[in-house]
Every structure is written in structure tokens, then in C-alpha cells.
Structure 1
Amino acid sequence: MDSLKLFKQATDAIVTIILYILLFALIVGMAKTLLEIRFIVFESLESGFNHMVTSVLTVFIVIDLFKAFVDYHEHDRIKLTDITDATILIVLREIAVGLYSQKFGYEFILSLAVLLLVLGVIRMLAVQYSPGSRNYQTPSKAGLNSLLDWCNPDAEGKKPLS
């Protein structure tokens, strides 16, 4: 048996199992979120809101991971945008939990904000320079030759005006 084919079958089986686990986690997370409505009704609004925010953000993280694994299962590649989206959601969740529970200092929140900024820049660059789309300009041979011609002085010692 070909080792590449065996590897492909093994990774497909593992990804399929992970997809079922993520689907189960998504269903349980949604049920938990719906059950936490009771915290808003029977306890304080602040405590209930804290539970709801963390539960909803956790469900969004699972949805994003599910999307990344489905994309890997269909296309056999991992998109950088899917991974950065999931990481951004994780950082946002940690910031929200830290702000509502008031257990983090401003230094930790600031470092998470800087991490969020860096992840946002990485995501923007991943979208702009995606291998699937050609939004960026690659230098052509003609363009490179015209640039070299412009840089080299002509016979009279002047640069061309093109």
C-alpha cells in the first residue's frame, strides 16, 4: 500500500472524528447557552450577562474551528484566515472574561489587546496576499526592464522621461 494514500486515509478519518466531536460540542454549547438564560432571570443581570457572553463567545470559537476543519476536509489545506479568526475569537473571549470578572490587571488586558492587533494585521495580510486571489502585483519582465532602463543613464547621460 502506498504510504501517501495511507496517510491521506488516516488524516481523513481523524478529521472526520474531530468534526463529529466539534458538532457534538456545538450542540452541547448551544444547549448550555440556552440553559444559562436562567442566570439572567433568577440571578443578577451582571452575573447572567457574564455567563452569556462567555458561552456565546465559546460557541463562536467552536463554530470557527468547525469551519476550519470542514475546509481542511474538503480542500486538504488549512486557511490562515480561519486559524487567525479562531485565535482572535479566543483572545476576545479572554478579554471579555477578564473584564467582567475583573481578575486581570491592566497589563494583561493591554498585552491581549496588542496580541489582538497583531492577529488583526496578520489576518488582513493573509486576505490581501492570499494564494487563491491575485490582488497583489508581481513584477513583470517588461516592468522590470523599464525600471532598469529608467535607472541606467542613456548615451547622453540623461534618464528617460517615460
Structure 2
Amino acid sequence: MDSIKLFKKVTDMISTIFLYILLLALVVGMAKTLLDIRFILLESLESGFNHMVTSVLTVFIVIDLFKAFVDYQENDRIKLTDITDATILIVLREIAVGLYAQKFGYEFVLSLATLLLVLGIMRVLAVKYSPAETQEPHISVPREERLSKTGLSVIFDRYNATHENN
């Protein structure tokens, strides 16, 4: 058997197992979120809200990881945007949990905010310079035409004008 085919089969099998584990985690996380409603009713609103925020953000992290594994399963590649989205959600969850528990100092919150800024810049750059995006040829259009019309309509108008003159 070819080693590349064996590698592909093993990675497909492992990613499928991870998908089922993440699906189970998603169902359990949703059930836990619904059960956390009791903290709002039985305990203080602050404690219940802390449990709800933690549970909901955790479910969002699992959803994002699920999306990344599905995308890997379909396209055989991991998108940088999916990983940065999951990491941003993890950092946001930690900030929310730490701020509600009041256990973080300002230095730690500032470092997490810096990490969020770097991840946000990375996310924007990953979208802007995506390799999956097809590059369209650049068409030079005079400035006066750019103000009134853009894109293909300028080309069509030029073609129609020259075609009508002939």
C-alpha cells in the first residue's frame, strides 16, 4: 500500500473520531448550559450569569473547533482563520471568566488584550491575503471614469462605444 494513501486514511479516521468527540462535547456543553439556568434561579444572579457566560463561550469554542475539523475533513487543509477564531474565543472566555471571578490583575488583562489585538490583526491579514482567493487582473481605468463607474461596467461601456463607432 502506498504510504501517502495510508497517511490519508489514518488522518481521515483520526479527524472523523475527533468530529464525533466534538459533536458529543457540543451536545454535553449545550445540556450543561441549559442546566446552568438553575444557578440563576437558585443562587445569585451574578453567580448564575458567571456560569452561563462560561458555558456559552465554551460551547462557541467547541463549535469553532468543530467547524475547523469539518473544513479539514472536506478540504484537507486547516484554515488559519478557523484556528485564530477558536483562539480568540478561548482568550475571550478566559478574560470573561477571570473578570467575573475578579482574579486577574491589570497586567494579565493587558497582556490578554495585546494577545487579542495580535490575533485580530492576524485574522484580518489571513482574510485579506487568503490563498483560496482568486486574483483578478488589474485593469487600469482613467481617474474620471473611476469616479463614476467601476469594474466591468467601464470595460463594457468602452467596448460598446468602440463597437458602435465602427
Band the TM-score falls in, shorter-chain normalisation: 0.7 to 0.9
Residue 22 of structure 1 aligns with which residue?
22
Q: Distance in 2 between matches of 1:4 and 1:29?
A: 36
Which residue identity does 1:10 align to in structure 2? V
Residue 103 of structure 1 aligns with which residue?
103
The question of 1:64 aligning with 2:64 is answered yes
Per-residue deviation, 1:132: 1.1
For the aligned residues, what is the CA RMSD?
1.4
Per-residue deviation, 1:136: 8.8
The question of 1:93 aligning with 2:93 is answered yes
The question of 1:74 aligning with 2:61 is answered no
TM-score (norm 2): 0.81
Residue 160 of structure 2 aligns with which residue?
none
Query: Which 4+ stretches in 1 moved above 2 angstroms?
Result: 134-138
Residue 46 of structure 1 aligns with which residue?
46
TM-score (norm 1): 0.83
May I ask how many residue pairs the two structures share in their alignment? 138
Question: Is the Cα contact below 8 Å between 1:32 and 1:55 reproduced in 2?
Answer: yes
Structure 2: which 5+ residue stretches go unaligned? 139-166
Q: Distance in 1 between matches of 2:58 and 2:137?
A: 39
Per-residue deviation, 1:137: 8.2
Residues 1:51 and 1:135: Cα distance change in structure 2 (over 3 Å): farther
Q: Distance in 2 between matches of 1:112 and 1:36?
A: 27
Over residues 58-107 of structure 1, what are the superposed CA-to-partner deviations in whole Å (9 max), with x where a residue is unaligned? Answer: 00000000000000000000000000000000000000001000001010
Q: Distance in 2 between matches of 1:90 and 1:112?
A: 11
Which residue identity does 2:105 align to in structure 1? G
Per-residue deviation, 1:135: 6.2
Which residue identity does 2:7 align to in structure 1? F
Question: Is the Cα contact below 8 Å between 1:129 and 1:135 reproduced in 2?
Answer: no
Per-residue deviation, 1:43: 0.4
Question: Is the Cα contact below 8 Å between 1:128 and 1:135 reproduced in 2?
Answer: no
Structure 1: which 5+ residue stretches go unaligned? 139-162
Residue 112 of structure 2 aligns with which residue?
112
